[in-house]
Chains A and B, each alone.
Chain A
Amino acid sequence: MEQGATLSPPAGPWVHPPLSPPDLAPSRPLYDGKLSEIYAIYLRHLVLMLITLGWSRFWGRTRVRRYLWSHMSIFGDRFEYRGRAVELLIGFVLVLAILALWGGGIWLFVKVALDDKWPAHFGLLDAFYLSVVLIGFPLSFVGQYAGLRYRLSRTRWRAIRWSLASSAWRYGGLATFLTFANVVTGQLLTPLVSVNLARPRLANVGLGNGRFEFAGRAGDIYGRYVGYYFLNILAWIVVLVLCIAIAGHFIGETVGSADDLLKLFAQPSLRTILLAVAAAFGLYLLFSLLILPLRCWWQAYLLRYLVSHTRYRNVLFATSISTRQMWGFLVLNYLIVVLSLGLGWPWVIHRTLKLIASELWIYGTPDGARIEQSQARVPRFGEGLLDMFDVTGI
């Protein structure tokens, strides 16, 4: 080797180029809503619902959203909800009109194509209902995505609009296929379904001209899911065996026979009612001790995974939500709504936003100057499909 071919050392001592450490200062959203204020809005909404037989729901929903969005902030800047109730109303009426056209199409098909030769035992109305049920399942997914797009398009932060790209129909097709496949395979595809349905809902979200990114892969979470899956089966078997043993023992000791039990419930005394409540509570306790913690453990893990694999430019996200917190979110919230006959719903929303504010960590600060207002078109109406084919919340 020639001496001259060797690289000559630098003249002075070599210095690393200065690395600017990435700005990963942590922060959390701030929620400063008050439960009493949400109740004041919600009770007014219920009163108007009764007076208008439900047609005021679009206005009620919009008012609650305005309150919730405005009381949530990140980096000291509040969110803003600018949706209008009339847009929701028009969306709903449009879907009603489309359904009417669909019904008319079926009628025309029977009259013209089938020449009125329709099976007598299967009425025209039956055909309409069946078709609506069949299309309702995929349409509820389409509605969920389109509804999310509408809500994001009406949401602003620092006056910049949020958005959701891609087709709601594509999402509807994907969600229908994956859900069906998951059912057929005995829920073994759950990680695949969860990640692949979360991806469009996260990676297509935009704030101004910037887009969120999602780097999750089903393979990362399969191992833990398989463990959960078989533990869950085992827990169900244990719960069922325990339930049968306890119920059999209880009936044998205190009631006598199944006929006597039926008689007791035909004319229930206060004691019978109290016993039934105690038994239901006991069964729920058993269920909540063995089954629900497992489910909450999985859901908390899944949420932590999804959040930590999402980013917006230089801003990263993370959550340390625990199994206990997930139990409060999934189970306690459900019980609050059911046991309060729906009146606890504002409390549930309030609890949920407080949970998000305390458990969502944001690392880094967005460069506001580089986030420009998006010029993309926004939907003119919203949530009609969601209102028709899905149980809608706020």
Chain B
Amino acid sequence: MTAQARFYDGRTAEAQEVDFRATAGELVILRPGDAGVVARWPVAELRVLGDVQHEAVPLVACAGSDARLVIADPERRRQLAAALPVLAKLAEAPPFVARRIALYGASLALLVGCLWAGIDLGAERIAPLVPFSWQQRLGESVLNDITDDKEMCDGTRGLEAINRLANRLAKVGGYDHEVSVYIVQGGPLNAFTLPGGIIVFYSDLIERARDGSEVAGVLAHELGHVLDHDSMKGLARQYGVELLLKLVTGGYSDSMGTLSSGGSLLYAQRNGRAAERAADATGVGLLEKEGLRADGVAGFFERLLKDGKPDAAEAAGIWSSHPPTRERIEATKRPATGKEPFTTAQWRALRAVCE
């Protein structure tokens, strides 16, 4: 069998038009004019470089040599492959592109759906399993970062009072670890939870509270986050969604990274609103279980609204991590019954915690 091809000898960039002949033991490459032998490649050393899916023309090479034989005509490649089974890859038919696109496209959509659901489920299940010492270390590191340039309130009796109530409520909620409450001097009117049972209050919130029940209401709400491991779940979700979006977008572009961050932020905020609703319910439940006044958190929010503080959550809408305040007031409204969460002396000490 003789056919036309192009030959590169691997020593220079000269391209030669050649014929080739397959025998039982070797592939002989010949000059077309005088049938002079250009190269003789033993069959055992023949290789096909590449495949029809990726290479326009898979190349024939000889082991240990840089030389290449290029057979552009698919029919001639098939004939050679039929003569020399070691070159069978040359005869492969190009794959059906439309079928492959449909198959991989559908697989991609299915995988994205499964992973999306998996992230939600995984965050719920796995976050609480992270060893407490790791959570604590992470929480302390974030606490250091946040409070780095802030004054901390260190009134011993005030801190003792709020920590005692926090651990008492945590025990009621079935939390096995110690909860630590820190108070940062100044504002905003806020409190938040970190991994490892760490709760941070801003002193402005304590100063603004009318009585101990309002602080206890906020504390119980934060304990709701602690019991539900919300900060760890939030981290896991955010990391998972960012990773998913990065993988789906090929991870090639910075712009994609920005879009990914925006998408994962929205997703985190949606979950954040659900977690806040749950923490509100848990917090009120803890106080009621312990026979303490549970009207504090609703009262606190109501007073803020009456004082003319705009409802930031309502204004931010889908971008807010919290549900609208009015909705939270309705959900947590309770009668002013039950024991005071702090004694008069404790409340006084807490008010003076930054002095």
- Taking a contact as CB atoms under 8 Å apart, the answer to whether A120 and B11 are in contact is no
A361 in the interface (beta carbon within 8 A): no
Quick check: A51 and B11 within 8 Å, CB to CB?
A: no
A341–B248 contact, CB under 8 A? yes
With known contacts A50-B111, A368-B12, A44–B100 Cβ distance under 8 A: yes
CB distance from A236 to the nearest CB of B (A): 21
Choose, from A90-98, A142-150, A152-160, the stretch at the interface: A152-160
How far is B248's CA from A391's CA once the two chains are assembled, in angstroms? 16
Interface residues contributed by chain A, number (CB under 8 Å): 63
Cβ of B187 under 8 Å from chain A: no
**Does A32 belong to the interface (CB within 8 Å)?**
yes
A54 B259 Cβ-Cβ under 8 A: no
B250 and A342 contacting across the interface, CB-CB below 8 Å: yes
- Asked if B327 is at the interface (CB within 8 A of a chain A CB), the reply is no
Q: A208-B13, A368-B13 are in contact. Are A345 and B54 (CB under 8 A)?
A: no
Give A157 to B100 CA distance when docked, in angstroms.
Answer: 30
Query: Is B54 a contact partner of A372 (Cβ separation < 8 A)?
Result: no
Docked-complex contact B67 and A159, CB < 8 angstroms? yes
Give the contact stretch, choosing among B296-304, B310-318, B345-353.
Answer: B310-318
List the B side residues contacting A77 at CB < 8 Å: 6, 8, 15, 70
Which chain A residues lie closer than 8 Å to B251 at the CB level?
49, 54, 57
Cβ B111 vs Cβ A70 within 8 A? no
Taking the nearest CB of chain A, how far is it from the CB of B236, in angstroms? 14
Q: Could you say which of A36, A40, A50 contacts B108, with CB atoms under 8 Å apart? A: A50
Of B49, B101, B320, the residue contacting A40 (CB under 8 A) is B101
Number of interface residues of B (CB under 8 A): 57
> A159, B66: Cβ atoms under 8 Å?
yes
Q: Which residues of B, 120-164, contact A by the 8 Å Cβ criterion?
A: 141, 144, 148
Bound CA–CA A368/B68 (angstroms): 15
A residues in contact with B104, CB < 8 Å: 40, 43-44, 46-47
With a CB–CB cut-off of 8 A, which chain A residues contact B107? Answer: 47
B61-80 vs A, Cβ < 8 Å mask (1 yes, 0 no)? 00000111010000000000
How far, in angstroms, from A337 to B251 measured CA to CA in the complex?
11
Question: Are A158 and B13 in contact (CB-based, < 8 A)?
Answer: yes
A-B contact count (CB 8 A): 163
| Cβ < 8 Å to A, chain B residues 99-126 | 100-101, 104-105, 107-108, 111-112, 115
Interface membership of B192, Cβ < 8 A: no
Write the nearest CB–CB distance from B120 to chain A, whole angstroms: 16
* Interface pair B13/A70, CB less than 8 Å apart: no
CA distance A80 to B57 in the complex (A): 10
Q: Contact between B316 and A266 (Cβ–Cβ < 8 Å)?
A: yes
* Closest beta carbon of chain A to B57's beta carbon, Å: 7
Assess the A268–B256 pair: CB atoms within 8 A.
no
**B112/A50 in contact, CB under 8 A:** yes
Inter-subunit contact B56/A32 (CB<8 Å): yes
Contact yes or no, B111 A78, CB < 8 A: no
Chain B residue contacts of A266, Cβ below 8 A: 314-320
Complex: A34 Cα to B253 Cα, angstroms: 23
Interface string of B239-252 (1 = CB under 8 A from A): 00001101111111
CB pair A159–B315 under 8 Å, yes or no, is: no
In order of increasing CB-CB distance, the 6 nearest A-B pairs are: A342-B249, A266-B317, A43-B104, A159-B8, A371-B13, A368-B14
What are 28 residue pairs bridging A and B, where the CB atoms are less than 8 Å apart in the complex?
A: A40-B100, A43-B101, A43-B104, A44-B100, A49-B247, A49-B250, A50-B115, A51-B111, A53-B247, A66-B50, A67-B55, A77-B70, A78-B70, A80-B59, A121-B148, A123-B141, A159-B9, A159-B13, A159-B68, A160-B12, A208-B13, A266-B317, A342-B249, A342-B252, A345-B252, A368-B15, A370-B12, A373-B12
Q: A40-B104, A263-B315 are known contacts; what are 20 more A-B pairs with Cβ within 8 Å?
A: A37-B97, A40-B100, A42-B250, A43-B100, A46-B248, A49-B250, A54-B251, A71-B56, A77-B8, A77-B70, A121-B144, A158-B13, A159-B10, A262-B315, A266-B319, A337-B253, A341-B248, A368-B12, A368-B13, A391-B254
A binding-site residues for B, Cβ under 8 Å:
32, 34, 36-37, 39-47, 49-51, 53-54, 57, 63, 66-67, 70-71, 75-78, 80, 82, 120-121, 123, 125, 157-160, 207-208, 262-263, 265-268, 334, 337-338, 341-343, 345, 366, 368-373, 391-393
